[in-house]
Amino acid sequence: MQNPLISKLEKHGPLSEEEKEVLQRITARTAIFEPREDIVPEGSTPSHSSLILSGFAMRHNHLPDGRRQITAIHVPGDFADLHSFLLKTIDDGVSALTACRVAFVAHKDLRDVTRNFPHLTRALWLTTLIDGAVHRVWMTSLGRMDARERLAHFLCELRDRLDSIGLVRDDSFELPLTQADLSDAFGLSTVHVNRTLQELRSDGLITSTGKVLTINDRKELRRIAQYNPDYLHIDQKLERD
């Protein structure tokens, strides 16, 4: 299968053969992580960044008193901690949600990329900027939407992100988060997540069987969430020189 990072970056515009070779080369070192395993521990200072090749992962922040906030969900093709390249210490850790195949990209190699491949550098920078845009939308969700809207919004977002990498069939996709995870992602209690999901189900908007979620009425779900996918910048074009 094609390297999911290359596929993702190519959505932003064509890459040269040389650039693809570089990407292929620097993502050659891989490892497998089991569900719930730490990929990048909170507070660590890794010498490489972790690229998700397959599986789902999440980023999370812990308060000293133990409360937890999930700050991002990562899918294949996502760099879970490209920011550690320049930020050095990881404020928020990364853990596997499902079994994950991960490529370790040495910071040294990223440095070489920034020295010799301006276009690739901009493409990688772009991915971190999109991360930021998603963060801001999550902030809006956390700050200004109620539980029902938050969950609806998240499901719309995840669907579109998974769809862009071919992991959606008939509006069904894998959702490997427990209700406790969802509650930590959306600032709710597990009890309330449970009740809100039941509400969405009984309104006929979604169906969920185990770890697979189906959106039955995407239009209505989008309306509830006031969802507009532009912020994902999935096809954002990046000019070459």
Helix and strand numbers (H, E) in the chain are: 9, 10
Residue 27 near residue 105, CB atoms below 8 Å:
yes
* Amino acid letter, residue 134: V
**For residues 48 and 27, what is the distance between their CA atoms, to the nearest angstrom?**
10
**For residues 62 and 18, what is the distance between their CA atoms, to the nearest angstrom?**
41
DSSP, collapsed to helix, strand or coil, labels residue 46 as: coil
Calculate ∠ Cα 132-123-155, nearest 5°: 45
Measured from the CB of residue 187, what is the shortest distance to DNA in angstroms?
6
Binding mask 90-129 for its own copies (x = CB under 8 A): -xx------------------x--xx--x--xx--xx-xx
Pick the closer one to its own copies by CB: 83 or 218. 83
Examine residue 36 and tell whether it contacts its own copies (CB under 8 A). Answer: no
By a kind-dependent CB cut-off of 5 to 8 A, residue 86 interacts, out of its own copies, DNA, none, with its own copies
Pick the closer one to DNA by CB: 164 or 196. 196
The DSSP bridge partners found for residue 61 are 69
Which parts of 52-206 fold into alpha helices (H)?
84-87, 107-116, 118-144, 147-164, 179-186, 190-202
* Amino acid letter, residue 160: D
Question: Which position among 54, 71, 98, 179 is part of the footprint of DNA (CB under 7 A)?
Answer: 179
Examine residue 216 and tell whether it contacts its own copies (CB under 8 A). Answer: no
Question: Contact region for DNA (CB under 7 A) — 40-48, 53-61, 109-117, 190-198?
Answer: 190-198
Backbone angles phi, psi at 224, to 5 degrees: -55, -45
Examine residue 225 and tell whether it contacts DNA (CB under 7 A). Answer: no
Binding residues for its own copies, how many (CB under 8 A)? Answer: 53
Which positions touch its own copies (CB under 8 A)? 59, 61, 63-65, 67-69, 71-72, 83, 86-89, 91-92, 111, 114-115, 118, 121-122, 125-126, 128-133, 135-140, 142-145, 184-187, 226, 228, 230-231, 233, 236, 238, 241
Which residues contribute to the site for DNA (CB under 7 A)?
Answer: 146-148, 178-180, 183, 187-192, 194-198, 210
